[in-house]
Structure 1
Amino acid sequence: MSAPTPVSTAAASAPPHPLDSAAWASLTGPHARFAEGQGRARRYRTDLSPFGALADPGDPRSWADLHRLQGAGQTVLLTGPPGLVDGLPAGWAVEALIPGVQLVATPDHRTGPDPEASPVGAAEAFEAADLVARTEPGPFRPRTHELGGYLGLWRDGRLVALAGERLHPPGWTEISAVCTHPDHRRQGLATRLVRAVGHEIRQRGETPFLHTGAANTSAVELYLQLGYALRRTVEFAVLRTPDVEPAADSSST
């Protein structure tokens, strides 16, 4: 697959785009009710998502606040542009670094309700987590389904395909956890759910976007066919905080 051309971005003088720091925009905006914070750092409650966020990755104070928020020797998942972990403060360790891409819906992207898709709530959360563990589309915690509308398709009483909503910057909603059981692939189930979740997002007057691993070319090709466009490359970084206990700072509130 040839590399798609990124959507042109706004001029350098323009205000930051919400998707430039999607987790921060989400945790300080529509998902603030799910957030825990310390000064210039935020994170989702751990039973919802492993994502954390910084007000400014170039500001050492943001990293110090994230250390205080997480505690010593704890892991956190951050996402941002390539180079996110360049120049990490002393004591921070990179556990995993995954190149990714961010895609946004174009005016021509295809959506539509699916009469067979059913909501995934608390009663189905364990089954959803099991499917995610089998297929590894990304992290899924016991209460991840509360972040937005998750939909599933069942066969013979078993959940075989899943997609839902995760990050929620103002005006945007991320489609996430797109996965299909290996026994039911190549039947168009993921396509149907991406369209159905996208339809719900559009009904609210918001715009869908997606993240996926850069190496997952089949997923990227699917999203391009559905009318999404590559906006930028990103990195997903699993980091471990320094082992020393973080210093108290009453100024970071």
Structure 2
Amino acid sequence: MNDHILDRPIWNSLTTAHGPFAIGDGGARRFTPNVSIFAGVRDESADSLAALARLMPEDGNLFLIQVAPVVLPDGVRAAKAAEGCQMVLENLKALARSAPEIIRLTEADAEDMLNLATLTKPGPYLRDTRLLGDFWGVKEDGKLIAMAGERFKHPGYSEISGVCTHPDYLGRGLAHALCVKVAEQIMARGEQPYLQVFATNTRAIRVYENLGFRTRTKVNAVMLERG
């Protein structure tokens, strides 16, 4: 049985839409180090695992997300491992409350985006992660207080990611409004939005379910390091 394209979201992103950001050969790819620490493999063959081992930084991590159990190459260990939920949008549900003013974020916002992501930790986010897709934000008195954007892209699908709100502005529906905005942009291109969230983050899962997402499958999320 053939894998669904989302079963290996990183591999299938780096070998299609995000090919220009890919480093690697054979059965493994990673994003360029300035953009992301995510990597993916084509399969669990010896050749693919050897290719993944060659991509490991001397001092740093790579992060894999896939449905199949992650097999570790020789000389590589799991620094962290967790179960995630991969959710796809079935029927977008917008909030009845008035939406905040949402703006497209640009290069001029790069430092503020990094600072907000560093504070709120929505997932691995580097200064140039924003190059993977459009990002949108909400500002108050010139300060970026919430944002969301796109990360992995594949034929027919685009991932919503980087969803975060400054802790002083929680409870105002900003994340919901931003997810709706990003989802609408994705659907306008004829693609299906999806996202990934740690299975233990039940609060976020409820938020996404209220938006119209459903869990497609569980995924394995593993942070790799040399050792």
2:9 aligned with 1:27: no
Aligned equivalents of 1:92, 1:70: Cα separation in 2: 8
Aligned equivalents of 1:74, 1:159: Cα separation in 2: 29
Structure with max Cα Rg: 1
2:37 aligned with 1:50: yes
2:145 aligned with 1:122: no
Name the structure 2 match of 1:239. 224
Q: Percent identity?
A: 38
Deviations 1:33-90 (A, max 9, x none): 111122111011111111111110x2121111112233545421111126324xx233
Letter in structure 2 aligned against 1:164 = G
3-state DSSP class of the match of 2:7?
helix
Name the structure 2 match of 1:162. 147
Letter in structure 1 aligned against 2:79 = E
Scaled by the length of structure 2, what TM-score is found? 0.93
Aligned equivalents of 1:194, 1:184: Cα separation in 2: 16
Aligned equivalents of 2:226, 2:65: Cα separation in 1: 16
Name the structure 1 match of 2:70. 84
Contact 1:212 1:219 in 2 (8 A): yes
2:93 aligned with 1:110: yes
Contact 1:111 1:199 in 2 (8 A): no
Aligned equivalents of 1:190, 1:19: Cα separation in 2: 24
What is the root-mean-square deviation of aligned Cα atoms in Å?
1.7
Distance apart, 1:111 and its partner CA: 5.8
Name the structure 2 match of 1:250. none
Distance apart, 1:156 and its partner CA: 1.3
Contact 1:135 1:180 in 2 (8 A): yes
Aligned equivalents of 2:46, 2:104: Cα separation in 1: 42
Pick which of 89-98 and 124-133 moved more.
89-98
Aligned equivalents of 1:169, 1:232: Cα separation in 2: 17
Letter in structure 2 aligned against 1:81 = V
Aligned counterpart in structure 1 of residue 25 of structure 2, from 20, 38, 41: 38
Aligned equivalents of 1:69, 1:180: Cα separation in 2: 33
Pick which of 192-201 and 231-240 moved more.
231-240
Distance apart, 1:98 and its partner CA: 2.2
3-state DSSP class of the match of 2:200?
coil
Aligned counterpart in structure 2 of residue 151 of structure 1, from 133, 136, 142: 136
Scaled by the length of structure 1, what TM-score is found? 0.84
Deviations 1:105-160 (A, max 9, x none): 11x22369x67111122211110111111111101111111100100000111100
Task: Tell me the matched-pair count.
Answer: 224
2:84 aligned with 1:100: yes
Aligned equivalents of 1:191, 1:75: Cα separation in 2: 31
Contact 1:82 1:233 in 2 (8 A): no
